[in-house]
């Protein structure tokens, strides 16, 4: 849900339900990497409320588009981390040391 972007599209607060610090901090990080962002922060209104408010202020671009771009960038980063980790696990499992130790439980 978007709040406060009725007049000036470069400033907006987005409310994400069923989320916490994990996603909010990652989105804040990617938003702060974007040169179009002048301010980004998040808050959790109450600890028992599963909701995060993310405030975005830009240099003039629509805040909604900047947030969308940052979420797409975050998805690419997660995809890269996941594939890098999977490759490292596969490399480890096929290494000679693991074969000698018989650690792999797939046998």
Structural domain spans, the chain? 11-105
Quick one: pLDDT band at residue 8, thresholds 50, 70, 90? confident
Query: Which region holds residue 51: left if phi is over 0, alpha if psi is between -120 and 50, else beta?
Result: beta
pLDDT tens by residue, 34-53:
999 999 999 999 988 889 99
pLDDT tens by residue, 63-83:
999 999 999 999 999 999 999
C-alpha distances (whole Å) from 19 to each of 27, 42, 48, 66 are 11, 12, 12, 19
Radius of gyration of the chain (CA): 20
Residue 6 has pLDDT above 80, yes or no: no
- Residues 20/50, Cβ–Cβ less than 8 Å: yes
Residue 104 has pLDDT above 70, yes or no: no
Domain 11-105 of CATH type 3.50.50.60: no
């Amino acid at each position: 849900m978007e709040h406060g972007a009725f007049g000036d599209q470069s400033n907006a607060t987005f409310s994400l339900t069923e989320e916490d610090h994990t996603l909010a901090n990652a989105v804040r990080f990617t938003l702060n990497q974007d040169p179009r962002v002048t301010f980004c922060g998040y808050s959790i209104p109450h600890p028992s409320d599963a909701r995060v408010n993310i405030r975005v202020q830009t240099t003039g671009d629509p805040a909604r588009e900047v947030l969308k771009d940052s979420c797409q960038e975050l998805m690419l980063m997660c995809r890269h981390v996941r594939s890098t980790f999977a490759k490292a696990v596969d490399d480890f499992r096929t290494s000679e040391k693991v074969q000698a130790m018989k650690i792999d439980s797939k046998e």
